Amino acid sequence: MEKTMDECGNVRMDRGSQVCPFGIRDKIGYMFGDFGNDFSFIFASNYLMVFYTKVLGLSGFVVGLLFMGARGVDAFTDVTMGRIVDHMHPAKNGRFRPWIKWGCVPVAVSSSIMYLYMAGDWPYGLKLAYVIVTYLLWSSFCYTAINIPYGSMASVISSDIRHRASLSTFRSIGASLAGLVIGLLVPLVVYRTDEAGNQIVIPEAFTLTAVVFGVLSVVCYMLCYFLCRERVSFEKKEGHKENVGSMLGDLWKNRPLLSLVCAALVLLLANMLGQAMNNYLFLDYFKNTNALAVLNVISIAAVLVLAPFVSKIAVRFGKKEAGALGMLGAGSIYVLLYFLKVKSIPLFLGLLFLGTVGVGLFNLIVWAFITDIIDYQEVATGKREDGTVYAVYSFARKVGQALAGGLGGFVLTAIGYVSEASVQAPGVPERIYTVATLVPGVCYLVVFLVMQFYYPLSRGEVEKNTVILQERHGNQKTGGKEGIRSEI
């Protein structure tokens, strides 16, 4: 029998198996995918409002309207992208991977042009048009065109639930590493202290930072493209044209998806609003933006400390069970912070670290929930809709992000925050503290209730669905035996 080589360079005795077995190569590649995503996503989530209000001089109310309005566009672009990747004819390098190669440069360019500091000197009408066009170009089109295929790809890299849990963990590690770079370096680059001791922004630093992050994101996306492989394939019914109403009806009956969408809305509201308000918290309440960099480091440290144990926790207790417990712990810590009214930065950072551990536990396994839901959808309806299911969840995340950005802008206006002022009026910093602690705390407790009492995919249900699909498709179509152990 003729010997052949697979993509990893291993000798194969059969001619028909040329795809590299699932392993660390896929995990690292998938990690770099979210690393690339979050060079633009986290940077925008944490600093785009600061850029719009402090550099361009827009009011928080106007920024909030922009973030909310863009989600109406996403309602169409996200789901449309999901349907495209579900129904397109797979290329030789897969159904989802090609989009990563095609979309990486447009994402980098569209993200970079959102932060042109010279736009601050433009007439108000031109400035507003610039903000609307560039934000929609990035968030609703370019980012969607790469994020939907990337997120959907996890379900076809492997059919093994332990492999998928490890992909979710490595994806979250990638996001954490991006968050570490952004959280540690950006405050040191975009802020400086004036002679009076006040923290002010450096407009041109936003533009330079965005361009550097754009270049780095392209590198990360290409590493994801070259390192990951699609192994799971599903046959499409020839000539079958599904009615859109029927598709939406099936999704509406998908209880796991609906519950995770609800959880995602509330979770992203808490995460993004908290991250956005932290900029103002350390700028105006603690008056120490260097401490903001420390906060970002310890937040990432909590995730990295948990990462080696998440696969074992998920297998031992179940993803639903572990995620709900993490949210209960995080919510309790944030509510405690609100009541304590902490003035000490070290004490605040220490308690926030504990809360971040709970949030990190949930975020490390959240992407594995999606692959479980995709399997559930196929078991329930007989139709494989990786891209569509992920698109609905992605849209929910964007809505949560928009709510955070929108409410953040509205709240800043409501509590009396003045963008142009170097020193805020008495009482405003204390109100910022309330928003930054109480709102995330309540939101995390709501996520706990949703996951604990409404989300139905316990560990036993996930294992049962996996067995059903393996029996339905057979080993050849579901990726075969790709290796049982998948630890981090």
387-429 residue pLDDT tens: 888 888 887 777 776 676 667 777 888 888 876 666 778 888 8
Three-state SS at 249: helix
Contacts of residue 76, Cβ cutoff 8 Å, sequence gap at least 6? none
In this prediction, residue 18 carries a pLDDT of 59
Of the candidates 277, 299, 275, 366, the one whose C-alpha atom is nearest the C-alpha of residue 327 is 366
Rounded to whole angstroms, what are the CA distances from 462 to 193, 288, 332, 382, 468? 53, 46, 29, 16, 10
Q: At what angle do helices 289-317 and 345-381 cross, to 10 degrees?
A: 40
Q: How far apart are CA 333 and CA 147, in angstroms?
A: 32
In this prediction, residue 76 carries a pLDDT of 81
In this prediction, residue 295 carries a pLDDT of 83
Claim: this prediction has a pTM higher than 0.75: no
Taking every pair of Cα atoms in the chain, the longest distance, rounded to a whole number of angstroms, is: 82
Q: Which residue has the higher pLDDT, 102 or 163?
A: 102
In this prediction, residue 239 carries a pLDDT of 45
By CB neighbour count within 10 A (0-12 exposed, 13-18 middle, 19+ buried), where does 249 fall? exposed
CB distance 72 to 206 below 8 Å = no
pLDDT confidence tier of residue 309, bands split at 50, 70 and 90: confident
| Range of lowest pLDDT (270-274, 283-287, 469-473) | 469-473
- Fill in the DSSP letter of residue 195: T
What would the pLDDT profile of 317-371 be if each residue is shown by its tens digit? 888 999 999 999 999 999 999 999 999 999 999 999 999 999 989 988 887 888 8
Q: How far apart are CA 385 and CA 366, in angstroms?
A: 19
In this prediction, residue 205 carries a pLDDT of 95
CB distance 331 to 448 below 8 Å = yes
Three-state SS at 12: strand
Mean of pLDDT over the chain: 83
| CA 444 remoteness from chain centre | 16
Q: How far apart are CA 372 and CA 370, in angstroms?
A: 5
User: Residue 11 forms beta bridges with which residues?
Assistant: 5
In this prediction, residue 488 carries a pLDDT of 34
